[in-house]
Structure formats: structure tokens, C-alpha cells
Structure 1
């Protein structure tokens, strides 16, 4: 079967299109024939080696964190799925592999696709929805409070922003000027053009901040927080609290490194009487199942930026590296003749 792989970490992305054996399923796995795969920021971090601190990858490594498709085989102890079911999933970030025609996925990481969602839309959901749920679970925001989401019109924002609006929060996002209209459509009250920013107007303004930009923006975003405000970063770096909260079992060496990295972030937060947390999204089929109920109540379907053909995988990731996407970037997994046939 076809797959997209890399053979080493590299700043200059070089993918290979290879033919690898179709995977067998274990007793607790389903085999999914892929329709579409999500292209997300984690791929950029993974291919450049920036997440080695969390996950060790063996090379050659098949890329991809999200998938939508059809179940074509089930393990002996599978109880939730049958052959022919439409499913979507996000395997653990340390077990990438959805940029391939077939993927064997543990039952506990998958969920059935809502009936009114296309395969394209379904592939846009897993990582963004799980990140949104886990982030807001950590924030525990109160209705009427103010939240800032940096780069809020991208793959994460296309789900996180409408979710925050539904919680009754006053949502402000940053982005390029061309993103302003999309932000308003998602329910954003105020848009900050990062090409002509006025961040000084928002000093000690927000109750919550979700950082998607990383270390370079962290100091400024802390200044935007009120006293006792809460910042959650999806990019800057882990801290001691992170290791205690995550389900993943980290080694003692990793825990020490996380604590040392987080010392600066925690110190910065403590000095200003604020809270810092880091989130590295974890897979959950149960949490993914809740999207069906959310969709039925809101009809907030995913926003798709661009769909690339399988042979354009490198271009798709390069586009993600630019960081100027409006909504989700997708990779079509089926061959053109299969799609048209």
C-alpha cells in the first residue's frame, strides 16, 4: 500500500512515497481504509525533531496524525465497530501513520463519524476537537470572561473559537488581515491584525489566553493577562504540572527535563500572579464521540482551507509551515482513479 514517509529529522522537508505492507490488526484494533488525513502543526514539529522530548520515532516513519475512512477489518475482541462503519481517529502522537492507504488503529482511539459529516469534514475534527476539549477542561472558564486565542483562524481555531463562543466567552483572536471576515463569521467579537497589532491596548485585559505561537510570543501574552489569569500554551514547552496531569508515562529523565524547561515559564507566571500550563493533546475515542452531540446542537461544521492530492503531501506540509491557513488542510488518501470511479 502507498504511504508517505521520512527517513530522518530535517529542517528541509523531504518525504518519500513508498510501498509498504498492509498492516494486520491485533484483537483490539480496526483496519481503516483511509479517505482523508488531517495536516496539522504537529507534523512540522515532528519532522524537524522538535518533539523528540515527548516521543521517540523509529525511521523510516510514516507521517500523519488524523484520519477519516471506512472499517474494512476488525480484531477478534472489537465490540464498538463493524466492517463498513465510517470512522475517524487520532492515534497517539508518538504513533503517527495516517498518511497511508490503510491504518490499523486501536479501538479506544476511534469513533463513528456523525451521519451529517462528510469524510473531508471528519478528517478536520480529531486533533482540533480533542485539543479544544482538553484545553477548556484545564481552563474551566467562566461565562462572560474574556479569552484571547493567538492565530485563531487556523486548524485549531476553526473548532476552538466557536466552542468558546458557545461557552459564553468574549473571544478575541489574532491573525492576518485577510482572516478578519472569517473570524467574525466564527463569532469573534474583536480581531487583532498581527500585521498592525495594538497589543498595548490589551494589557492586563484577558482572563484566559490560549497560545499557539510559542516562546517568542509568551512574554507579550502574559502581559495581556489579568492578575490571576490563566495561560495555556500548545507550543511553548512543558512544566512539572504537565507530567503529573498527562496520562502518558514519561521516564524520570523526561520529567526532570520538563521541570527544567518549565522553570522559566512557571517563574514568569508566578512573578505576575498568573498561571501557566502546557498541553500536548492525547488521543481519546470517548472524547471524539462527544463531537456528534456538539454538532447536533450547534451545526458548527469544520472549516476546510485546502485539500491536496496524496502526491502533494510535501506541498501540504509546506503550506502548514507557512501558518496562514484559514481552517484545516487535508490530504486525500484515495487514488484519483478510485475517487472518480
Structure 2
């Protein structure tokens, strides 16, 4: 089969090498998936640059790709939830990524059935982002009836964070550009703030939870609108000691991340709130819950550009350059 491999880390050259390698053999708890589409993420380029080696020391050569959509071709003898020809998707387990290939072996526990109404390309936009939101809400122990502020929720993250948060019974406040107002309110947001005409730090208060998609100076602004005892999860910031402990990292890495995240922890302490960072993990049960929510609401993920597998490096370059209005996806003609 053809696969896109990382053969060496580089901060300047993000290109992968397409090679012919054997089709993987599945373990008893795995299924073999014939890949139809794969999501392309900033995380893929971070792995190439070696930026997450402290978290996950991948061995090279490495088949790249974290999000997969495909058809089940073979099932292990301990697999009970899936059968041949099922259309499935997943955020692949951290220790066995490899979506940029014609076939991938995946643990059953990471998989969910793709909603029928989604195309392969749309489905490829779901797992990593949706699971990030699910795991953020889980970490915050979000309770129905409370209020959440989702910053900058006019992009791909907001497009999933809003309906998932509403399905969990939360009141949703968000901000962004005015030309996205109708779409965001259509997703279920209770209040939309035009960031150009309204300063939310002066008009919003009593927020229980925050999903911070922006970071930087916005993080402290968002803490200032929260109730004491509130909880903020920052998606673009640096890990802290609490994250390192949850992630099961050794003591020396916990100490290191404790130093890195100390500024954010101290800031949160001043405002009387909790601060956390997450690195999303595979979870088929959570993803199936997302699939059910999306099916009920007919949520359509936003797809920016679709590339053929042979153009995987163009897809990675597009993600590295930013300025996307949705997911970058690669597809397979197999």
C-alpha cells in the first residue's frame, strides 16, 4: 500500500515521503480500515517539526495522519461492535497514528460509525475537533444549566463546540466577526458578540466555563468574566503540571511543564478559577455520542480544500500557512 511517512524531523521542511509498504496486520481487538479520507491538522506539522516529542516520542519512520474515515475491511476475533463494510471514523490512538495511508489498523475502542448524512470529506473534519470539545467539557465537569463562553467560535472549532455544548444543556455565549452572526446563532448560540463593536469584558459576567480558542491576551480577559470557581480550558496555550500529571508523564516532565505553565496557573489563581490544557485522545464512545448529536441536529462541518493523497504535502503546506475557512482533507482513489 502507499503511505506518507515522516523520515526525519525538520523545522523548515514539512514534506512527507510517499512509499510502498506492507498492509498492516491487525491484532485481535483491531479492525483494518480502507482509508477514504483523512483530516489534515496543525498537529501533523507539529509532529514533523518535533514539537511534541516531550509528550509523545514517536519513532521514525512514522506513517502520519491523526484523523481517518474509511470502510472496515477486516475485523479481529475480539471485535464485537463493527463488521466488514461499516463506514467508520476516528481520532487515531496516540501510539498508533497513520491515517495518511491506503489502509490503517485501528483499535475498536477508538472507532465510531459515520453518520449517513455526512460525506467522507465532511466526516474527516469531525473527530479531532469534536473530541477536543467533548474532553474539554468532561474535564471541566460541565453541568447543564451553567453558562459557557466560547471565544472566536466562528471557525471550525466553534462550529462543533456550540452544538455539543447546547446538547449538554449549557447556555452558550460566543464572539466573532459580525458576518458570521446568523450562522453561529443558527448553530444554537444564545448570545453572539461582535468583537469589533462590543467589548465582552464590559458586558459579560457570570460565566462558569470557557473554551479559549484564541490564547494570548484574550485568556486573561476571559478569566475576568468568570464566576469564582469557574473553569477555563485553553486550546492553543502551553501545558501545565496538572496536564502532565493527567497525561501520565514522568516526574521530570511534570516539573518542566509546571515551570512552563506557571504563569497561566498564577493568573487563574488570581481570578479564582481553574486553568487547564488538553491534548485530545481517541475515544470511540465519545465520538459516537458526537455522531448521534450531529445526526439529530444535522450539523455540517466546514471543509475548506480537498486534496488527492498524492498531494498530501500541498495539504500540509496549506495548513501550515493558515487562512483556512474549514478543514483541509485528503482523499484516496481506492
**With structure 1 as the length reference, what TM-score do the two structures score?**
0.85
Distance (whole Å) between structure 2 residues aligned to residue 201 and residue 320 of structure 1: 35
Number of aligned positions between the proteins:
331
Partners of 2:317 and 2:199 lie apart in 1 by 29
Matching residue of 1:300? 299
The structure-2 alpha-carbon separation of the partners of 1:324 and 1:164, relative to structure 1 and needing over 3 Å to count, comes to farther
In 2, Cα distance between the equivalents of 1:2 and 1:150?
40
Matches within 5 A, 1:184-223: 184-188=185-189, 189-193=191-195, 198=199, 200-201=201-202, 206-215=207-216, 217-223=218-224
Deviation at 1:72, TM superposition (A): 1.1
Q: Which residue is 1:106 aligned to?
A: 107
Equivalent in the alignment of 1:162: 163
Which residue number in structure 1 is paired with residue 68 of structure 2? 67
1:272 CA displacement: 2.0
Is residue 8 of structure 1 aligned with residue 24 of structure 2?
no
Query: Does the 8 Å contact 1:29/1:106 carry over to 2?
Result: yes
Shift in Å at residue 85 of structure 1?
Answer: 1.5
Asked whether the equivalents of residues 183 and 191 of structure 1 are also in contact (C-alpha less than 8 Å), the reply is no
Alignment of 1:120-159 (within 5 A): 120-143=121-144, 145-159=146-160
Asked whether the 8 Å contact 1:227–1:272 carries over to 2, the reply is yes
Paired position in structure 2 for 1:316: 315
Deviations 1:88-128 (A, max 9, x none): 11122343210111001111111222333332232222112
Q: Alpha carbons of 1:102 and 1:178: their partners in 2 closer, same or farther (altered >3 Å)? A: farther
CA displacement at 1:66 relative to structure 2: 0.7
Whether the aligned pair in 2 keeps the contact of 1:154 and 1:328 (CA below 8 Å) is: no
Q: CA deviation at 1:230?
A: 1.9
CA distance in 2, matches of 1:193, 1:88: 35
SS at match of 1:92: coil
Q: 1:129 to 1:314 in 2, by over 3 A?
A: same
Q: What residue ranges of structure 2 are gaps of 5+ in the alignment?
A: none
Shift of 1:180: 4.7
Aligned-pair distance for 1:203? Answer: 7.2
Aligned-residue offset at 1:211: 1.9
1:119 aligns with 2:153: no
What's the TM-score once normalised by structure 2's chain length?
0.87
- Give the Cα separation in 1 of the matches to 2:160 and 2:257: 29
| Mean CA deviation greater in 196-205 or 268-277 | 196-205
The separation in 2 between residues aligned to 1:103 and 1:311, in whole angstroms, is: 17
Q: Distance in 1 between matches of 2:226 and 2:93?
A: 32
Distance 1:216 1:23 in 2: 46
Matches within 5 A, 1:7-46: 7-12=7-12, 13-46=14-47
Say which is worse superposed, 263-272 or 42-51, in terms of deviation: 42-51
Contact between 1:62 and 1:98, CA under 8 Å: does it hold in 2? yes
Distance in 2 between residues matched to 1:124 and 1:168, nearest whole Å: 23
Report deviation, 1:325: 2.7
> How well do the aligned residues superpose, as a CA RMSD in angstroms?
2.6
Q: Secondary structure at the match of 2:115?
A: coil
Match of 2:261, SS? helix
- Aligned counterparts of 1:191 and 1:318: Cα–Cα separation in 2: 32
